[in-house]
Amino acid sequence: QKEVEQDPGPLSVPEGAIVSLNCTYSNSAFQYFMWYRQYSRKGPELLMYTYSSGNKEDGRFTAQVDKSSKYISLFIRDSQPSDSATYLCAISRSGSARQLTFGSGTQLTVLP
């Protein structure tokens, strides 16, 4: 069993839609949770970072963590064509010297 599983997609939505991206993880030792966005042929770019259960909001993006269910989500409101990218969840056991464990990514296309 992989340590983190991500809904594989691909996902295609119309502009303005709310997007939900999801991951589950298997080990409660993971305490830190991140979402990265990766455009084609580029390196991952950090979008959201959290270490507690609950919601964290940043503009159109909301990260949700449920440690009891080992479930993490990223919501994108009012999606834009520029949001079209691959979204990667990542988890870590520690808050420093992090060894990130990534999901396999969900490819999102927002249609104008």
Partner 1 sequence: DAGVTQSPTHLIKTRGQQVTLRCSPKSGHDTVSWYQQALGQGPQFIFQYYEEEERQRGNFPDRFSGHQFPNYSSELNVNALLLGDSALYLCASSQGRDLEYFGPGTRLTVL
Respond yes or no on whether the N-terminal peptide bond of residue 10 is cis (omega within 30° of 0).
yes
- Judged by CB under 8 A, does residue 53 bind partner 1? no
Cβ atoms of 35 and 50 within 8 Å: the answer is no
Nearest to 78 by CA among 110, 49, 50, 38: 110
Stretch that binds partner 1, among 13-21, 41-49, 58-66, 69-77 (CB under 8 A): 41-49
Query: Regarding beta strands 106-111 and 11-14, do their DSSP bridges make them parallel or antiparallel, or are they unpaired?
Result: parallel
Of the candidate residues 20, 22, 104, 109, the single one contacting partner 1 (CB under 8 A)? 104
Of the candidate residues 73, 103, 108, 110, the single one contacting partner 1 (CB under 8 A)? 103
- Judged by CB under 8 A, does residue 35 bind partner 1? no
Query: Regarding beta strands 71-76 and 19-25, do their DSSP bridges make them parallel or antiparallel, or are they unpaired?
Result: antiparallel
Residue 84 C-beta: closest distance to partner 1, Å = 16
Q: Which C-beta is closer to partner 1: that of 77 or that of 98? A: 98
Cβ atoms of 23 and 62 within 8 Å: the answer is no
Applying CB under 8 A, which residues contact partner 1? 6, 34, 36, 41-46, 49, 88, 90, 95-105
